[in-house]
Amino acid sequence: MKLQGADILIKCLEEQGVDTIFGYPGGAVLDIYDALYRNGKIKHVLTAHEQGAAHAADGYARTTGKVGVCFATSGPGATNLVTGIATAYSDSVPLVAVTGNVGAGFLGRDSFQEVDIVGITIPITKHNFIVKDVSELADVIRAAFKIAMSGRKGPVLVDILKNVQTDYCEYEPVVPEPCEPLPVAEERLKTIAETLNASKKPVIMAGGGVIAADAAPLLKEFAEKLDCPVSYTLMGKGAIPDDDPLCLGMIGMHGTVASAKALIAADTVIALGARFSDRVALDRDRFTNGKTLIHIDIDNAEIDKNVKSDIHLMADVGETLKTLIPMLETKERKDWRVKVEAFKKENAAKKDVSTRAYAIISAASALAPEGSTLVTDVGQHQMWAAQHYKSVLPRRFCSSGGLGTMGYGLGAAIGAAFGTGKLSVLITGDGCFGMNMNELMTAASENVPIVILLMNNGVLGMVRQWQKIFYSRRFSQTTLSRRIDYVKYAESVGAKGILLGMEDDVQTTLSGAFAQAEAEHIPVLVDCRISPDENVLPMIKPGETYDMQIEKMEEN
C-alpha cells in the first residue's frame, strides 16, 4: 500500500514493537506528530524539554532492555537532544532519536530552524542517517533499530526531511529478525577456563556488559562455581545482590574497601563487560600490577584500550558464561574466602554510617517497593546511592556513569517508570535537580510515581569535595545561594513536596513519601537537608593505585 513518509515511520516503529515515545513537537515534525495522532496506538510522553525526552528514552531503554525512542523537531529541538544522546552513547544504551529537518529545497540554505544534526551527532552515535528520499525511509528505520541493539548497544539518530514525511511510497510490513549473538571462540575459552581453574585468588569484575547481556543469573552461577568474590563497577550495579556472600561491592574511585583490598590481593582478575574507564582503572599502567587479567567485552576496541590484558575475548558476556561455566571445575577456595571475609569485615568496620546521607539512602533502599528503579543524578549523592542503596535488581539502576550528566536523573526516572510500570526512586542533589527540574511538570501531569530524594546541601558537593582536597578549600562558585522553596515548587507543578529537616525522623517521612507516591501515582519530592560537609569516602585520587585509598577526611 502507498503511504506518506510520516505514516511509514510510525508503521516501522510498530514493527519494532515500540509502545512509548518521548518527545516534543515542532515545525519540522508536524507531519510525524499528525501520523502519531491518527495512529493513536503508541503512547507519547510530552516532556518539558527535548533533553528530558532523550533522558527518558534512555531510562526506558535501560530498564526494559528495549530500544528507547525520542522525537524532536529540527534545529534547537535536535540540538537539545545532544546531551541525552551523548549520555546514552557513553553508557551503551540503545536509543533511536528521530528528528525532523527542513525540506529538500531549504536544506543547506541556513533556513529557519535548520541545523546539521547528523554532522553534530557523528561522534556521539553508533551511526546516524539523513533521509532525503522516502523510498529509503523504511529500511533506514529498520537499520537504525538493528544497529542500536546489535553488538555493543548505543544510540542512532535518524534525521528526516520535511518533504520525506509527506511524500508517498509503497510500504510492505517486515518482521524484524532477532539480533544473533556473536559466536564465542571456544579455543580461547579453554585457555580462560584453564587459567581460572589454576588461579588461587580470583576476583570477578562485573561491568555494565553483564546488565546489557541480561547475564546476572549466569554471573551468580559462575561466581559460585569458581567460589570467587565479585566486585561491580557503577554500570554493573545490580549484576549481583549486595547481600550476596560473594559480593564485594563497587570498585573504583569511590569503591569499597573490600573491593580494593581483594583486587590488590588477587592473582587473577576476570573483567566481564567492563571498559576500565579512568574512574575504575585509575592508574591504568599499574591496575593489574603483576596479576593475570582476563578481559571479556563485546567491543573489540575496548580490549587493551585502557588496561592491557593477558587473555581477552571479544564476545557477549552471557554467551561466554554459558559456554565457560561447564568448562570450570567446582572449587572451594577456603584460604581465599577467609581472606575475603576479613576484607569484608574491615569494610563494614570502616564504613561511616553516622552520616545523614547514609541514613536517608539506606532507609530508602529498605522502603522501596519490589521492582522499583533506583535513578541517580551525578555527584556525591550518586556515589552515596551506589554505596548505600542495597536493593538493586538487574535493569533497575539508571545512572549516567560514563558522561556524568548532571540533570540526567529526573528524565530518566520518568522513562524508567514508563518502562517498568513501577515506581522510580530518584536520588539527586540540589545542583543536578536545578538543571532539569522542569521535568517535574511532566512527571506530575503524566501521574508518574517517583520518590525524589533531593539531597539538599546548598552546595555542589562533589566539586566542593575536590576543592577541599586539591584546591586548599577555595570554594569557587560551588555554594548555591538559592532562595527556592522546593516544597512549594513541587506543589506548584502538581507534585507533592515534603521537607525533611536535619533533625526530622527519616523513617517516618520516607515511608509517608513512598506510600503517597504509590497510592496517588504522583511524584513526591522530599527536600532532604544535609550538611554541606558530608564527603564521599573512601576515595582514590585520580591516577593513583588501589593501595592509596583515602578512608577519612579531616573537616575544618
Partner 1 sequence: MPEFKKYTIGALVTNKSGVLTRISGLFTRRGFNIESISAGQSEDPNLTRLTIVLIGDEYSLYQMIKQMDKLEDVKKVGCANELDCVYRDMMLVKVKALPEVRTQIIEINEIYKAKTVDLSPDTMILEITGDPDKLDAFLNVIKPYGILEMHRTGVTALARGSHTLRDRDCYGDHVNKVV
Among 174, 301, 348, 548, binds partner 1 (CB under 8 A): 301
Q: Which of 299, 310, 491, 518 binds partner 1 (CB under 8 A)?
A: 299
Q: Does 264 bind partner 1 (CB under 8 A)?
A: no
Catalytic site residue from 14, 15, 113, 491: 113
Which one of 69-77, 305-313, 357-365, 429-437 is the stretch in contact with partner 1 (CB under 8 A)?
305-313
Instruction: Say if residues 28 and 5 touch (Cβ distance below 8 Å).
Output: no
Is 462 among the catalytic positions?
yes
Does the protein bind partner 1 through residue 217 (CB under 8 A)?
no
CA distance 444 to 172: 40
β pairing state of 43-46 and 68-72: unpaired
347-370 as b/e, with b when 16 or more CB fall inside 10 Å? beeebeeebbbbbbbbbbbebbee
Residue type, 93: V
Map residues 329-358 to x or -, x wherever contact with partner 1 holds by CB under 8 A.
------------------------------
Give the x/- contact pattern for partner 1 in 74-113, rule: CB under 8 A. Answer: ----------------------------------------
The answer to whether residue 50 is catalytic is: yes
Indicate the residue among 301 and 548 with the shorter CB distance to partner 1. Answer: 301
Per CB under 8 A, 225 contacts partner 1: no
Contact 380/220 with Cβ under 8 angstroms? no
Number of residues in contact with partner 1 under rule CB under 8 A? 18
Q: What are phi and psi of 95, to 5 degrees?
A: -130, 150
Per-residue DSSP letters for 167-232?
SEEE----PPPPPPPPPP-HHHHHHHHHHHHH-SSEEEEE-HHHHHTT-HHHHHHHHHHHT--EEE
Which of these segments, 306-314, 407-415, 508-516, 534-542, binds partner 1 (CB under 8 A)?
306-314
Residue 210 phi/psi, 5° resolution? -65, -40
Crossing angle of helices 5-15/30-39, nearest 10°? 50
Residues 111-140 that bind partner 1 (CB under 8 A): 118-119, 122-123, 126-127
Q: Is 312 in the site for partner 1 (CB under 8 A)?
A: yes
Contact 409, 430 (CB under 8 A): no
Q: Does 303 bind partner 1 (CB under 8 A)?
A: yes
Q: Which is nearer to partner 1, 116 or 194 (CB)?
A: 116
Taking a C-beta distance cutoff of 8 angstroms, is the pair 423, 453 a contact? no
CA pair distance 287, 205, nearest whole angstrom: 13
How many Cβ atoms are within 10 Å of 40's Cβ, its own excluded? Answer: 6
Identify the residue among 314, 426, 490, 530 touching partner 1 (CB under 8 A). 314
| Segment contacting partner 1 by CB under 8 A, of 83-91, 100-108, 268-276, 310-318 | 310-318
Give the nearest distance from C-beta 98 to partner 1 in angstroms.
Answer: 18
Q: Which CB sits closer to partner 1, 187 or 555? A: 187
CB closer to partner 1 out of 303 and 484 = 303
Residue 313 binds partner 1 (CB under 8 A): yes
Residue 122 C-beta: closest distance to partner 1, Å: 6
188 belongs to the binding site for partner 1 (CB under 8 A):
yes
Which 8-state DSSP code applies to residue 325?
G
Task: Respond yes or no: is residue 112 known to be catalytic.
Answer: yes
Q: Residues 433, 462, 465, 549: which is the catalytic one?
A: 462
DSSP code of residue 421: S
Tell me the C-alpha distance between 407 and 410, whole Å. 7
Between 294 and 462, name the residue whose CB sits nearer to partner 1.
294
Of 162, 237, 291, 351, which residue is the catalytic one? 162
Out of 44, 220, 305, 529, name the contact with partner 1 by CB under 8 A: 305
Tell me whether residue 122 or residue 548 sits nearer to partner 1 (CB atom): 122
**Catalytic pick from 50, 439, 446, 534?**
50
Cα(556)–Cα(542) distance, rounded to whole angstroms? 23
155 upstream amide cis, omega within 30 of 0: no
Partners of 276 in the β-ladder: none
Contacts to partner 1 by CB under 8 A: 118-119, 122-123, 126-127, 147, 185, 188, 299-301, 303-305, 312-314
Please list the active-site residues.
50, 112-113, 162, 462
